[in-house]
Amino acid sequence: MTEILVSEVGPRDGLQSIDRVMSLEAKKAWIAAEAAAGVKEIEVGSFVPPSLLPQMADTAELVAFARTIPGLNVVALVPNAKGAARAVEAGVHAMSIPFSMSETHSLRNVRKDHPAMLAEIAEVAQIANAGGVHFAVGLSTAFGCTIEGAVSEEQVVRLAAAAAEAGAQEFSLSDTTGYADPAQVKRLIGKVRGAVGDKLTTLHLHNTRGLGLANALAGLEEGITTLDASLGGLGGCPYAPGASGNLVTEDLVLMLNSMGLKTGIDLAKLLEVRQILAEALPGEPLYGFTPDAGPMLDYNERIAPKESEA
């Protein structure tokens, strides 16, 4: 049975996109509850200056807490080498840096052009290697940009190859702006794999135009083994206008489990975690079809084999 890793990015990508700051205790409760539901990897925050994103000011404390949960892979986003050093010091298992394929978005998001970002990636790779931390690069705006429009696939391939040479251990293709379609997903996975091989493992998808699950399925058909998602569909990118709506974790897990793929996630327990968000962020919109409709009547029969038998 194929094993798919669902990486929860809500505590970072979700919370950075809303104005309110969730309390540290609520964040801890969220992370602990998702881990108890079987989620094996959580991006708990990002090491950016609190003056820019006060929502992420407690990331080091969250890393320390999450490290106490057995079997949980604790991940954080870093914007630069300074953030990487803080992440290693905090004790993350893995960290990722966003590398925008749109240079305009890169300048707006991290204030660096492509050559400067490649230099930064090389420096972060050295910090990660010295600290024994896994280092991934997220190829942001890989499918299009709300500022520039279309992004050349050849440019994505060229920059991915350069990032691999700079020391990236793993890659994700990120649909930061919700521009991707299934045919494009398949095509770009093939092209980037031609440059970096099996280092490309992950898709980070947004559901801005309702194509999130279709794009996820296209990725699975091309051998993608990790899918990022956010509980309740929280999230977007504060520096990409109109880029709302991460892939909804609950809907993704329903689809994967129903298909007989192994996630290790108990959907019923996962659905209960939404209550933590609803109480901590009253009035904040939470998305997803599964929470409203519930699983199919024959859902348990569709999961083959049952997790208890796997």
pLDDT value at 236 more than 60: no
pLDDT, tens digit (0-9, with 9 covering 90-100), for 200-228 = 999 999 998 889 999 999 999 999 999 99
Residue 310 has pLDDT above 60, yes or no: no
What is the C-alpha to C-alpha distance for residues 228 and 174, in angstroms, rounded to an integer? 9
Closest CA to 252 of 222, 212, 221: 212
**Measuring CA to CA, which residue among 214, 192, 103 is closest to residue 151?**
103
**177 pLDDT above the threshold of 90:** no
Torsion angle (degrees, nearest 10) of CA 245, 51, 120, 242:
20
Residue 304: the pLDDT is 60
The per-residue pLDDT for range 67-107, each reduced to its tens digit, is: 999 999 999 999 999 999 999 999 999 999 999 999 988 99
**Which amino acid, residue 209?**
R
- DSSP assignment of the chain equals --B-EEEE-IIIIIGGGSSSPPPHHHHHHHHHHHHHTT--EEEEEE---TTT-GGGTTHHHHHHHHTTSTTPEEEEE-SSHHHHHHHHHHT-SEEEEEEESSHHHHHHHTS--HHHHHHHHHHHHHHHHHHT-EEEEEEETTT-BTTTB---HHHHHHHHHHHHHHT--EEEEE-TTS---HHHHHHHHHHHHHHHGGGEEEEE-B-TTS-HHHHHHHHHHTT--EEEEBGGG--B-TTSTT-B-BPBHHHHHHHHHHTT-B----HHHHHHHHHHHHHHSTT-----SHHHH-S-TTHHHHSSS-GGG-
- Two tokens at 30? 């969220």
53 with 284: CB under 8 angstroms? Answer: no
pLDDT digits 0-9 by tens, 53-70: 999 999 999 999 999 999
Mean pLDDT of 258-262: 95
What local confidence, expressed as pLDDT, does residue 240 receive? 45
5-309, superfamily in CATH?
Aldolase class I (3.20.20.70)
Query: What integer pLDDT is reported at residue 242 of this predicted model?
Result: 45
Judge whether residue 239 has pLDDT over 80.
no
> What mean pLDDT do residues 145-156 have?
94
Judge if pTM exceeds 0.85: yes
Give the mean model confidence (pLDDT) for residues 255-266. Answer: 96
Residue with tokens 């309390």: 23
Q: Exactly one of 60, 237, 254, 270 is catalytic; which is it?
A: 237
Average pLDDT score over the chain: 93
- Known active-site residue 145: no
The predicted structure's pLDDT at residue 289: 93
Contact by Cβ (8 Å): 96, 172:
yes
Q: Is the peptide bond before 305 cis (omega within 30 degrees of 0)?
A: yes
